[in-house]
């Protein structure tokens, strides 16, 4: 069965960031979401953060990214910015490179979504208080229908993760586990 006009966003599951998950078992919900999307012909779009050599996109006033420009790394060809090998994109699955926290900012994500006629986004990623929050907020303002996969999101602060999922995201999105989402696809 095809979920018309939907896409699964797998955000910031790149080598440098996926390491925050700890062990490989923590990748299981992401793998499950990918498998379900692929089995139901739901487009998968990977999102990563990376910069050009010389960091022309980073202002020294940017508290989040100024250190990358200062110390190096996180460039488009750097190993740290590549999608984690256990979640490797399949042919035809785009990798969107963003320059800020939101998947939309500094990327061609919106162009890809419009070209594919996507109006519903299923969000997963690291971190809940970073890319997931920023992307959800911007996508809601752009009138996308949203689902957040609660167990395919991670934040280093469990309390922030809980509050966002239970109190903030529910005002703009359906929040459910990967299992519950898969059950809606049957």
Q: Which residues contact 46 (CB under 8 A, 6 or more apart)?
A: 9, 10, 11, 13, 83, 87, 89, 93, 94, 95, 96
- List residues bridging with 75 in a β-sheet: 51
- For the chain, 186 residues long, give each residue's pLDDT as a single digit of tens: 446 799 999 999 998 888 777 667 889 999 999 999 999 999 999 999 999 999 999 999 998 888 888 888 899 999 989 999 999 999 999 999 999 999 999 999 999 999 999 999 999 999 999 999 999 999 999 999 999 999 999 999 999 999 999 999 999 999 999 999 999 997
Q: 3-state DSSP call for residue 41?
A: coil
Quote the pTM value: 0.94
């Amino acid at each position: 069965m095809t979920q018309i006009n939907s896409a699964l966003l797998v955000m910031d599951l790149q080598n440098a960031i996926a390491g925050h998950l700890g062990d490989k078992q923590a990748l299981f919900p992401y793998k499950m979401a990918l498998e379900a999307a692929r089995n139901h012909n739901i487009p998968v779009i990977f999102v990563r953060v990376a910069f050009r050599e010389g960091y022309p996109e980073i202002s020294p006033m940017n508290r989040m990214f100024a250190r990358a420009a200062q110390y190096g790394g996180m460039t488009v060809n750097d190993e740290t910015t590549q999608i984690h090998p256990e979640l490797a994109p399949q042919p035809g699955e785009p990798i969107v490179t963003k320059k800020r926290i939101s998947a939309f900012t500094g990327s061609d994500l919106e162009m890809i979504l419009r070209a594919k006629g996507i109006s519903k986004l299923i969000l997963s990623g690291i971190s809940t208080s970073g890319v997931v929050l920023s992307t959800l907020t911007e996508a809601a303002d752009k009138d996308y229908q949203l689902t957040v996969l609660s167990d395919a999101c991670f934040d280093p602060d469990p309390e922030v993760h809980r509050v966002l999922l239970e109190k903030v995201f529910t005002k703009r999105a359906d929040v459910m586990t990967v299992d519950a989402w898969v059950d809606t696809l049957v």
